Amino acid sequence: MAIAKLSEQLINQIAAGEVIERPASVVKELLENALDAGATRVDVRLEQGGVRLIQISDNGSGIYRDEMPLALSRHATSKITCMDDLEALHTLGFRGEALPSIASVSRLSLTSMVDGERNGWRLTGDGSDVFREAAPAAHPVGTTVEVRDLFFNVPARRKFVRTERTEYNHCEGVIRTQAAACPEVAFSLRHNDRVTLDLPAARDPAERVRALLGEAFLEHATAVDEQRAGLALSGWLGAPTQSRAQPDQQYFFVNGRAIRDRVLAAAVRKAYQDVLYHGRHPMFVLELELDPTQVDVNAHPTKQEVRFRESRMVHDFIFHSLHKALAALRPGDAGHATAVPVTGGVPGGRIAAPPPGQERGLSGLGLAGSGAGAGFRESSRPSRDPDFQAAWAEFRGAPAVAEARPDRYAVGAVGAAATSPDPGPDGDGMPPLGFALGQVAETFILAENARGLIVVDMHAAHERITYERLKREWEGARVTSQPLLVPENLEVTPAEAELAETQAEVLGELGFELDRAGPETLVLRAAPALLRGQDTAQLVRDVLADLAAVGYSHRAEGAMNAVLGTIACHGSVRSGRRLTLPEMNQLLRDMEATERSGQCNHGRPTWVELDHQALDRLFLRGR
C-alpha cells in the first residue's frame, strides 16, 4: 500500500483515543485547564452522565480572541516553551492535545473573555478540523467550554460508553479528586439540572477533606507531616477500622497532581499491612511535594502516572513516614479509634435510632462526645468496687500493677512490651484504658475508664503485643540464613537469572543464597531459617519479579512476618482462660505501650469503648 499523510482530523481522533476514554476524561482535562488558568471557582454541568453535555465554566484569566483558534490546534500550549520547562513542570496540563482531541470527537463551543476587554468571544466546531470564525459573545472574565454529543462521529467509541449512572459517577470522582487537591477553589456540579455537589472554597484544607470524606473520617484520622531529604509528605491517614471494600476513597497527589503509581501504592500497602483486615483498603488524603526535576510527569498520555528519578528513596520515605504515624498511635490518641455501631434490644423490639449527631455509639478513646448523658453525669467517677479502687490506688501510688511480671497472663514469657514510654494517664489520673472490672465468657475483658466502658478481646490484644515483640527481636537479630540439605534447582527466565546475579547482595540480605547454573537455571543453596518448610522456590520467583518491576521486594519480609504472626497467635492467651484482675490490668498497660495495639496482626479490632452517652442511648435514659 502507498504511504500517505493522515488528515488533521484523523490525527486528532487518534490522539483522542489516547486522551479521551470517557466523559470523565473530558472533565479531567478541562478542569486542569481551568485550574492552570488561575480559576478560584469552577462550575460543571452535565447531562446524561456527560455524554450529551459537558459544560465547564471558570473565572480564570481567559483566552484572547486571536489565540482561540490556536488553543484548538495540536501541540499548542502556554505552559512550556522549551525542554527545561518540561523537566521542571509546575502546571497540570502541558501537552496541548486535550482541546483539539475533544473537539475532534464532539461538537465543541469555546467562549472566553479576558479582563480589560469589552466583550467575550465564542468559537464553535462540529467535529471537523474546520472552525467558524470567532463571534462576539456575552461572558464574564474567564472561560466556558461546552462539549456536546461526545463520540457522535466515532460510533465505535460510543459503544464503549456505559450507563448514565456509571459515567456520572466517574465524572463526580474526577471532580472530587481535583477538589481535594485544590481546597482554595470552589467547585459545583449540576447533573440533569440538579445540583449534586457544592463545595465552597476552604481556607483550611481540613474543611475540604471533611466535606469530601465526612466528619467521621477526620475525627478518626491521623495527621501526617514529614519532611526529609527534599521530600515533604502531608495529609491524613484513615484509621484502620475505617477501611473499605474498595480503594475508592484514596487520594494521593504529587506536587498537586492526582496520580496512580505502583511505588506509592506499594509503600502505603506495606505501611498498613499489619493493621488492615484481609482484603480491605485504607482511606487517606496525602500529598507528596518534591523538586519537579525529580519526577517525570510525561510518562502517560493522561498524565495520571509519573516516574521518579529516585523511586526507592521515595518509596522508603513514604513507607517510613506512614509506618511511623500508624505505629505511634496509642490508646487515648485521637487517631486510635475503634468504632462499631451500637446494637441492642429494648422490650418489644430494637433500640430506637439515636438523635442526629449521636449516631456513633462505640468509639475509640479520645473521640467520645464531650460530657456524660443525662443519666450518667454522676457516674463519670471511677467505680466504687473495692478491687477497682485498689487497682487505681496502686497505679497512682505504688506502681505494682505496671511492674507486674509479663508472664502473669501469657502462655510463656512475653517480655517487655513497651516500645516507648508509657503514654501516661488521662487528665483525671486514670490510664487511657482504665482498670479491669472482670471477664465476659472468658474471652473479653471489661474495664472502666473516665469516659465509659472498655471491652477488650484478650486474645487479639495479647497477640498484637507478642507479635510486636517478636518482630523487634527478629529485626535485631537480622535475617539468619540456613543452608539447604539438598540445593534446589529453579527454572527461571534468562532475564530473571541475570537479575539474580546482579542483585545477589540484595537477595543475600533477605537470606537467600543463589548461584547461576545456566542461562535459565538458578541453584538455591540457602534460605531464611524462619521460613523452613515454606515454598521458598516460589518465594524466590516472586522476589525476582518484584525486583524486575520496581527494583525492590517485600515478599520475604511479608513471609517472615506471617510466620511470626502464626507464632504470636499460638503463643497468646486464648479464650476460655480465666485471668485475675492484676493479669487483666497488666494486659491493659501493655496495650497502652504497644505499637498498633488497636488491631491484632490479622486486622481485627482489639478493643472498643462504649462511652457514657452510648450507654444512655442503649437504655433510653434522658428521653
pLDDT value at residue 90 = 64
3-state secondary structure of 227: strand
Q: Angle between the 262-272 and 536-550 helix axes, to the nearest 10 degrees? A: 140
Sequence length of the chain is 623
Q: Over the stretch 229-244, which tens digit does the pLDDT of each residue have?
A: 899 999 999 888 788 8
Q: What is the pLDDT of residue 417?
A: 38
Q: Among 3-12, 58-67, 103-112, 341-350, name the one with the lowest average pLDDT.
A: 341-350
State yes or no: pLDDT of 415 exceeds 60. no
- Segment 325-353 mean pLDDT: 50
Assigned C-alpha cell, 435: 482498670
Per the model's pLDDT, the better-predicted residue between 87 and 126 turns out to be: 126
**In a shared domain, residues 432 and 475:** no
Which residues does residue 109 pair with via DSSP β-bridges, in sequence order? 124, 146
Phi, psi of 406 (to 5 degrees): -65, -20
**How many Å separate Cα 16 from the centre of its chain?**
31
- More reliable by pLDDT, 417 or 63: 63
For 24, other C-beta atoms within 10 Å of its C-beta total 22
Within 155-200, strands assigned E span 186-191, 194-199
Cα distances from 248 to residues 72, 112, 406, 614, in angstroms, run 34, 35, 42, 30
What pLDDT does residue 622 have? 73
Do residue 187 and residue 44 come from a single domain? yes
pLDDT at residue 358 greater than cutoff 90: no
Task: Give residue 88's pLDDT.
Answer: 57
Top-confidence residue, 473 or 191: 191
Q: What is the mean pLDDT of the chain?
A: 78
| pLDDT score recorded for residue 388 | 55
User: What is the SS3 assignment for 36-83?
Assistant: HCCCCEEEEEEEHHHCCEEEEEECCCCCCHHHHHHHCCCCCCCCCCCH
Q: Which domain holds residue 475?
A: 471-570
When pLDDT is cut at 50, 70 and 90, the band that residue 184 belongs to is very high
**Per-range mean pLDDT, top range of 133-147, 276-290, 455-469:** 133-147
In 482-535, where does DSSP find H-type helix? Answer: 494-502, 504-509
Helix (H) or strand (E) holding 610: strand 607-611
pLDDT at 367: 24
Residue 24 lies in a domain: yes
Same domain, 547 and 583: no
Residue 242 lies in a domain: yes
Return the higher-pLDDT residue of 406 and 537: 537
* Shared domain check, 477 and 454: no
Query: Do 140 and 252 belong to one domain?
Result: no
CB neighbours (10 Å) of residue 580?
A: 13
The more confident residue out of 565 and 267 is 267
Rounded Cα–Cα distance for residues 409 and 76 (Å): 72
Give the contacts of 474 (CB within 8 A, at least 6 positions apart): 530, 560, 564
Q: What average pLDDT does this structure show over 461-487?
A: 79
Residue 260 lies in a domain: yes
* pLDDT value of residue 120: 94
Q: Could you tell me the three cell numbers for 64?
A: 484572547
Distance set, CA 175 to CA 27, 30, 196, 295 (Å) = 8, 11, 11, 24
CATH value at residue 245? 3.30.230.10
| Residue 266 · residue 323 · CB < 8 Å | no
| Whether residues 232 and 273 fall in one domain | yes
Task: Judge whether residue 354 has pLDDT over 50.
Answer: no
192 and 97, same domain (yes or no): yes
| pLDDT given at position 371 | 31
Query: Above 60 in pLDDT, residue 404?
Result: no
One-letter amino acid at 362 equals L
Strand partners, 440: 444
How confident is the model over 448-456, as a mean pLDDT?
90
Nearest alpha-carbon partner for 262 in 23, 560, 553: 553
* Higher pLDDT among residues 569 and 137, named by residue: 137
**Which residues lie closer than 8 Å to 132 by C-beta, 6 or more apart?**
123, 124, 125
Of 161, 60, 56, nearest to 110 by C-alpha is 56
Is residue 1 included in any domain, yes or no?
Answer: no
Q: Are residues 514 and 607 in the same domain?
A: no
Same domain, 17 and 156: yes
The tally of domains found in the chain comes to: 4
Pick the more confident residue, 394 or 297.
297
Lowest mean pLDDT among 237-251, 291-305, 376-390, 397-411: 397-411
Least confident of 29-38, 73-82, 341-350: 341-350
Task: Note the pLDDT of residue 202.
Answer: 92
Phi, psi of 41 (to 5 degrees): -145, 135
Is residue 323 domain-resident? yes
Lowest mean pLDDT among 208-222, 378-392, 422-436: 378-392
User: 284-289 and 250-254: which strand pairing?
Assistant: parallel
Q: Are residues 63 and 114 in the same domain?
A: yes
Domain boundary among 199, 231, 252: 199
Q: Write down the pTM of the prediction.
A: 0.70
- b vs e for 467-484, b when ≥16 Cβ sit within 10 Å of the residue's Cβ? bbbbbeebeeeebebeee
Q: How many CB atoms lie within 10 A of CB 46?
A: 26
Q: What is the CATH number of the domain that holds 545?
A: 3.30.1370.100
Residue 178 has pLDDT above 50, yes or no: yes
When pLDDT is averaged across residues 454-465 and rounded to a whole number, the result is: 89
Q: At what angle do helices 581-592 and 386-396 cross, to 10 degrees?
A: 40
Q: How far apart are CA 405 and CA 416, in angstroms?
A: 9
DSSP bridge pairs for 195? 190
- Give Dmax (Cα) for the chain: 98
Q: 542: pLDDT confidence band, cut at 50, 70 and 90?
A: confident
Please give the radius of gyration of the chain, using alpha carbons only, rounded to the nearest integer: 30
Same domain, 161 and 57: yes
Q: Mean pLDDT, to the nearest integer, of 345-349?
A: 31
Across 150-159, 296-305, 332-341, least confident range: 332-341
All three cell numbers of 244, joined, read 473499605
SS3 assignment, position 166: helix
389: pLDDT confidence band, cut at 50, 70 and 90?
low
Convert the pLDDT of each residue in 9-42 to its tens digit. Answer: 777 667 666 678 899 999 999 999 999 999 999 9
Task: Put the strands of the sheet holding 521-528 in their side by side order.
Answer: 481-491, 521-528, 513-518
Average pLDDT, integer, range 313-322: 91
C-alpha closest to that of 364 among 607, 612, 597, 599:
607
Q: What is the reported pLDDT for 481?
A: 78
**466 confidence band (pLDDT: 50, 70, 90):** confident
Per residue in 89-127, pLDDT tens?
A: 666 766 557 888 898 899 999 999 999 999 999 999 888
Average confidence (pLDDT) over 311-339: 76
Residue 337 falls inside a structural domain:
no
Strand partners, 191: 46, 194
CATH, residue 147? 3.30.565.10
Top-confidence residue, 86 or 260: 260
Asked if residue 190 has pLDDT above 50, the reply is yes
Is beta strand 222-228 parallel, antiparallel or unpaired with respect to 194-199?
A: unpaired
- pLDDT tens by residue, 574-586: 778 888 888 899 9
pLDDT value at 43 more than 90:
yes
Q: What is the dihedral of CA 274, 278, 284, 287, to 10 degrees?
A: 70
| Pairing state between β 284-289 and 231-237 | antiparallel
Lowest-pLDDT range, 196-205, 432-441, 558-567, 570-579?
Answer: 558-567
Give the whole-number percent of the chain exceeding pLDDT 90: 29
Mark which of 327, 358, 391 sits at the end of a domain: 327
Q: What is the mean pLDDT of residues 487-497?
A: 89
Give the β-pairing of 257-258 and 250-254: antiparallel
The DSSP symbol for 351 reads P
User: Angle between the 536-550 and 494-502 helix axes, to the nearest 10 degrees?
Assistant: 80
Instruction: Say yes or no: 475 and 465 in one domain.
Output: no
Would you state the pLDDT for residue 21?
87
Q: Which long-range contacts (CB under 8 A, 24 or more apart) does 299-307 make?
A: 301/18, 301/19, 301/95, 301/97, 302/18, 302/19, 302/21, 302/25, 302/28, 303/92, 303/93, 303/95, 303/257, 304/258, 304/259, 304/260, 305/259, 305/260, 305/261, 306/254, 306/257, 306/259, 306/261
Burial letters 99-131, b for 16+ CB under 10 A, else e: bbbbbbbbbbbbbbbbeeeeebbbbbbebebeb
CB-side neighbour CA atoms (13 Å) of 242: 25
424 φ/ψ sector (left φ>0, alpha ψ -120 to 50, else beta): left
User: What integer pLDDT is reported at residue 381 of this predicted model?
Assistant: 44
Residue 500 in any domain: the answer is: yes
pLDDT band at 527 (very low <50, low <70, confident <90, very high): confident
Beta bridge partners of 197: 189
Q: Does residue 100 form part of some domain?
A: yes
